[in-house]
Amino acid sequence: MRINIIIIALCVVLGFLATFALDYQQRPRSARVAENSATDNYKSAPDITFTAIDGKSFKLSDYKGKLVLLNFWATWCAPCKVEFPQMLELAVNDKDIIFLAVSVDENSEDIARFLKSQKRTHVKHADVKIAHDPEKEIAQDTFQVLKYPETVIISPSGKMTDKVVGALDWLSPQMKERLEKLKAL
Amino acid sequence: MILRILLLLAFIIAPLNTALAGDFGSVPVLHDGRIKPLDSFARIHLKMFSGRESIEGLSAQDWLMDTLFNPPESFERRVFKVGDPDVREILKLPKQKGHLYSLAEIGPPLDAARPIIETLLERDEKTLSRAQEALIDLQVHRVIYSDIMRSLSLIVPLSIDPPQSLGLPEQDIYTALDFQRIAKAGEDKLKSVIRKKGDTIDTYTEDELELAQFMMRISVLRDASASNVIFRIIPPQWTGTEEWLSPVAMVNNGQGSPQSAEYLELWKQAAIAYSMGDRAALNAAFEKIYDSALTMLPGHYSGAQLKAEVLYNTFHPYHIALALFGLAVLMCAFYAANPIYLFYYAGVAALVTALGFSGLGLALRMFILDRPPVGTLYESILFVSFIVPLLSLVAERIYKNALSVFAGALAAFILIAISGGLAITPDDKQVLVAVLDTNFWLATHVLIITGGYGLCLITSVGAHLHLGLAALNRNPKPLHKNMTQAVYLGALLSLLFMSVGTILGGVWADQSWGRFWGWDPKENGALLIVLWLAWIIHGKISGHLKNWAVTSLYALLGVVVSLSWFGVNLLSIGLHSYGFIDGIAYGLLTFIIVETLFIGGCYALIRKREGACA
């Protein structure tokens, strides 16, 4: 009889231990995922080679250590043209930000015409890079961007942290605050 | 260790079923709020449409693959079961073997019946006849099937050639995604043609006509799949979103990433391999797709769970357990008729093996769902079908008379047999509603209550056997003593489990809903069992209830449990909404009538015999 009671008591204790173990295992896991998503879950950006509108090539890794705003745009896209000057402004006024604008226009003349409407000093600034991707090899094939504008923010360590779909007020305090945070990643 | 064994089993068994499809069946998809392998997705939908898990010699996986990669053939494949004669009459469908029809066959009549369907959709569900419900279901199935067919419309090879004037580099195969590159240029060119010549196509040159036709075709393609969201195969690509997306939704919502681009490219390779009939390339593509998907899975989910689910689907442990429980019942019946020990040992062996398969089923479900296996009504039945024979084995060890094995196997057989009908959704591995999503309470209250149901059932089945044998006058004194003792012990344990479980339920209700007791139907049901048992046991101890009355009331415990377990769910009220079911009222009523007649009949017979003896 005593043995039976011990066995039953042992089963109850083991049951409780298993239950708490299950519960414990579940809780920290969600906390861990949340923590990871803030740092480790960002994927590294592929080191693509771009062709600038002047025909020269450059690589994404050339800008490691800076926050890159990789913007996909076209001159026929009205919202793209609205946010373009704001992004220029950001890059020109913040030495830690690079504005890398990839145009999917078919004709480079359309790009040149549009750029003429922008501040020349801004367009020529060292932290502003305008690339041309008429075959959409970077936009569509690599980043799967099919609608414009879309912007991928790449941290100084080369991680793709955010994707912005559509036009945005890039000079808003919230956006600036976000960009400041991303500079640390 | 368990995981290793499961994976080893998966490795051995899974290829038997997925030889044609390679890793296709294990690729993850988010469906009905749960990450599951495509094998489950395929089975759920094929069963939903046709009521079966294979069609025209194709396994569910092969059917899904063909539907995704070969839409024209899928349009003609007979997959829709129209079982209701009234629906066939409304849609004027000709007689067909198995009442199976293709999308091509049901599409036009369903379009014609659209006004009727729209009127029905506006009505209260409760006022609909069975045929009207079936008609609505058929329309819903048609929409889902069409969605599945168009899921990969971006990447399946198309038999459309783009006009050379748009400058798309020449390729052997084009997809809708390729045409996206030239969509803007095409639009601009067509607009310029329309500006010059208007929309009267007679004045168009051959090239302009070709351009107009091409643009119209890609526009139709885009519109047809614009709202396609069912095939969510792409895990979240960006931090801050947990939403899985279909290829079309991903592109439309701008959620693509370098990783998703590579992933879709692999799907495109698979689609091309399928269209070329190149099985080796297809399997290689799916191997890569599966590996790539694993790298994108959320942290808490693993490929082993996907493989385990494919194994569960392939293996059907409960089908095997059902057959073995049936065999155990037969062997025990043979042993009762002809006491040869071979029958006895065969019965015990069948029960033990069945229990092993039932336990394996539970273990796999726990591993797949990452929670205790008692979250739904269906699961509670499976759990009880494991507990009951386990208890019967313990009883058999004590009494060694084959009756316990018979009772346990019979109860488990009936439970597994009815479980399929009580799985409310096509996916029997449902996601839990929020209130149930806690391993602690599932592992305490729900396990104890369902364990209590199991004890009640074995007690009730034991009492049935006791009554039946006594009614047949095959109740010698030692057996009578043993059975009285066993049933009494079962009742005491049932009372303990049901009381503790009910109190724990109150504590959980207090935490979740802010009150210990709310006279909810489910709570009342649990209390009913406790009161029923307390009444019999007190009546027996105090001497108010005599021998056979006590046994009869124990036997009726099955009715009380069925009312509490299933019956209260028919009311569709109360906070335990996750257990609601329809369509079992007649079954339950029949069960109660049969039980009352059987128990009442046995009791009357025994009393009559005892009266005659006295």
Domain termination site, one of B412, B431, B450 = B431
Cβ atoms of A33 and A64 closer than 8 Å: no
Predicted local confidence at residue B16, as pLDDT: 42
Predicted local confidence at residue B507, as pLDDT: 87
Kindly report the CATH number assigned to the domain that includes residue A104.
3.40.30.10
Predicted local confidence at residue B48, as pLDDT: 93
Same domain, B467 and B553: yes
| B584 assigned to some structural domain | yes
Say if residue B475's pLDDT is above 80: no
Same domain, B393 and B354: yes
Same domain, B176 and B137: no
Predicted local confidence at residue B240, as pLDDT: 73
**Poorest-pLDDT segment among A48-62, A111-125, B364-378:** B364-378
Cα A71 from Cα A81, distance rounded (Å): 11
Same domain, B480 and B381: no
**DSSP state string for B407-419:** HHHHHHHHHHHHH
Predicted local confidence at residue B140, as pLDDT: 94
Test mutation, A70, A144, A161, chain B, max B CBs within 10 A: A144
Q: Mind listing the pLDDT tens digit for each residue in B196-237?
A: 888 777 888 888 888 888 888 888 888 877 778 899 999 988
Same domain, B485 and B448: yes
- Stretch A61-87: mean pLDDT, rounded? 93
Three-class SS of B550-606: HHHHHHCHHHHHHHHHCHHHHHCCCCCHHHCCCCCHHHHHHHHHHHHHHHHHHHHHH
Q: Which of B253, B256, B259 sits opposite A43 (nearest CB)?
A: B259
Same domain, A26 and A67: no
Find the DSSP H helices in B198-257: 206-225, 247-252
B184 contacts A76? CB cut-off 8 A:
yes
Residues of A whose CB is below 8 A from B253:
165
Share of chain B above pLDDT 90, in %: 45
| B338 assigned to some structural domain | yes
Same domain, A86 and A52: yes
Q: Mind listing the pLDDT tens digit for each residue in B261-317?
A: 999 999 999 999 999 999 999 999 999 999 999 988 877 678 899 999 999 999 889
A161 contacts B439? CB cut-off 8 A:
no
Test mutation, B438, B439, B504, chain A, max A CBs within 10 A: B439
Residues of B whose CB is below 8 A from A106:
184-185
Same domain, A29 and A71: no
Cα B467 from Cα B380, distance rounded (Å): 28
Token pair in block for residue B539: 């009546």
B181 contacts A135? CB cut-off 8 A:
yes
Q: Name the closest residue on chain A to residue B188, using Cα atoms.
A: A76
Same domain, A168 and A138: yes
Predicted local confidence at residue B167, as pLDDT: 77
B257 contacts A43? CB cut-off 8 A:
yes
The catalytic residue among A77, A92, A130, A182 is A77
B19 pLDDT band, cuts 50/70/90, is: very low
B158 pLDDT band, cuts 50/70/90, is: confident
Predicted local confidence at residue A16, as pLDDT: 66
Distance from CA of B149 to the nearest CA of A (A): 23
Same domain, A94 and A153: yes
Q: Which of B238, B372, B444 sits opposite A163 (nearest CB)?
A: B238
Same domain, B445 and B468: yes
B55 contacts: CB under 8 Å, gap ≥ 6: B46, B63, B77, B78, B79, B100
Say if residue A25's pLDDT is above 80: no
- Stretch B471-485: mean pLDDT, rounded? 82
Q: Bridge-partner residues for B58, per DSSP? A: B55
B443 contacts A19? CB cut-off 8 A:
yes
A32 pLDDT band, cuts 50/70/90, is: very low
Same domain, B105 and B194: no
Same domain, A86 and A107: yes
Domain count, chain A: 2
Same domain, A177 and A86: yes
A165 contacts B184? CB cut-off 8 A:
no
B182 pLDDT band, cuts 50/70/90, is: confident
Say if residue B104's pLDDT is above 60: yes
Same domain, A15 and A71: no
Q: Does A166 touch chain B (CB under 8 A)?
A: yes
Predicted local confidence at residue A140, as pLDDT: 92
Same domain, A34 and A114: no
Q: What is the number of H-type helices and E-type strands within chain B? A: 25, 6
Q: Mind listing the pLDDT tens digit for each residue in B143-157?
A: 999 999 999 988 888
Domain termination site, one of B368, B400, B431 = B431
Comparing C-alpha atoms, which of B248, B74, B69 is closest to residue B146?
B74
Q: Which of B250, B258, B439 sits opposite A143 (nearest CB)?
A: B258
Same domain, A16 and A72: no
| B158 assigned to some structural domain | no
**A77 catalytic, yes or no?**
yes
Residues 54-113 of A with CB under 8 A from B: 74, 76, 106
Same domain, B284 and B175: yes
Q: Name the closest residue on chain B to residue A72, using Cα atoms.
A: B254
Same domain, B201 and B254: yes
Distance from CA of B506 to the nearest CA of A (A): 18
Same domain, B338 and B263: no
Domain termination site, one of B92, B118, B149 = B149
Domain count, chain B: 4
Predicted local confidence at residue B329, as pLDDT: 94
B567 contacts: CB under 8 Å, gap ≥ 6: B525, B588
Predicted local confidence at residue B315, as pLDDT: 85
Backbone angles phi, psi at B468, to 5 degrees: -60, -45
The catalytic residue among A45, A60, A69, A80 is A80
Q: Which of B252, B261, B299 sits opposite A33 (nearest CB)?
A: B299
Same domain, B203 and B131: no
Q: Bridge-partner residues for A131, per DSSP? A: A52, A102
Domain that holds residue B325: 316-431
Same domain, A89 and A27: no
Predicted local confidence at residue B560, as pLDDT: 94
A150 contacts B439? CB cut-off 8 A:
no
Greater confidence (A2 vs B585) lies with: B585
Q: What is the number of H-type helices and E-type strands within chain A? A: 5, 8
| B371 assigned to some structural domain | yes
Q: Mind listing the pLDDT tens digit for each residue in B527-565?
A: 999 999 999 999 999 999 888 999 999 999 999 999 888
A36 contacts B177? CB cut-off 8 A:
no
**A80 catalytic, yes or no?**
yes
Domain that holds residue A33: 1-41
Same domain, A142 and A177: yes
| B1 assigned to some structural domain | no
B10 pLDDT band, cuts 50/70/90, is: very low
Q: Mind listing the pLDDT tens digit for each residue in B332-388?
A: 999 988 888 899 999 999 999 999 999 999 999 989 988 877 777 788 889 889 988
Same domain, B188 and B285: yes
ipTM above 0.95, yes or no: no
Q: Which one-letter DSSP state was computed for residue B537?
A: H
Q: How many CB pairs under 8 A join A and B?
A: 87
Residues of A whose CB is below 8 A from B439:
19, 22-23, 26
Distance from CA of B245 to the nearest CA of A (A): 14
B413 pLDDT band, cuts 50/70/90, is: very high
Greater confidence (B19 vs B489) lies with: B489
| B5 assigned to some structural domain | no
